Chains A and B, each alone.
Chain A
Amino acid sequence: AQSVTQLDSHVSVSEGTPVLLRCNYSSSYSPSLFWYVQHPNKGLQLLLKYTSAATLVKGINGFEAEFKKSETSFHLTKPSAHMSDAAEYFCVARSSNTGKLIFGQGTTLQVKP
């Protein structure tokens, strides 16, 4: 069965420093992968998606993610954190069998001034 593992439940960075949110997936072949962000008491906003066109995916708000098949990873990065980036981030895969979304458990990003 496919699964998504977010390696950190909580990440804290200072404003202006780089952000790295780690995600590993398990799949026998390249999946469709997404990163969503959820600000407090809000819905999920799509940051970026990987669908095999390019391994480095650029998203909104300066975020990007790199798909590494050999490492089964899809880590999310941003060169410089902003206070408004503080939120919950979900790494999500789409099941190749059912089409359903498989969510990681989420990573809370804290940005300190």
Chain B
Amino acid sequence: DTEVTQTPKHLVMGMTNKKSLKCEQHMGHRAMYWYKQKAKKPPELMFVYSYEKLSINESVPSRFSPECPNSSLLNLHLHALQPEDSALYLCASSQVSQGRWTDTQYFGPGTRLTVL
């Protein structure tokens, strides 16, 4: 089973709202990722968690706040977003090999976010 699930599928929010995206995997992967994908573009890495600790933050604005409460769950908390943050948000997970989160990544279906 190589399934990564994401909820919700679609989300519409105002610029003053607070919302959260959720990602879950039960493959025993210890690395999890958030990507942002704009239309007709490849995904862009936002955050990497390895063993539930934040390993990489690609200079993402603080209005995006990731959280990894356990090895199966990854959340992305959203607050005071801008219209340009509208995009497809993808979660991925992978094994950690020899202490490095460099194994094959498996992606979820994404959450389509629209900020009004």
Listed in ascending order, the chain A residues whose CB lies under 8 Å from chain B are: 32, 34, 36, 41-46, 49, 90, 94, 99-101, 103-106
Contact = CB atoms under 8 A, between A and B. Distances in A.
Contact of B107 (A36, A104, A105): A36
Contacts of A45: 107
Interface string B9-42: 0000000000000000000000000000000111
Interface in B31-58: 40-43, 45, 56
Given A49-B104, A99-B102, A101-B105, A41 B42 contact: no
A88 B89 CA distance: 17
Nearest to A44: B107
Interface of A: prevailing SS: strand
A43 B42 contact: no
Interface of B: 2, 4, 6, 40-43, 45, 56, 88, 90, 92, 100-102, 104-110, 112
A104 B42 contact: yes
A39 to B, nearest CB: 10
A43 B104 contact: no
A44 B90 CA distance: 9
Contact of A90 (B42, B100, B104): B42
B90 A43 contact: yes
B45 A46 contact: no
Contacts of A90: 42
A49 B105 CA distance: 11
B45 A100 contact: yes
A45 B107 CA distance: 7
A85 B102 CA distance: 28
B88 to A, nearest CB: 8
A18 B107 CA distance: 27
Contact of B110 (A34, A42, A99, A105): A42
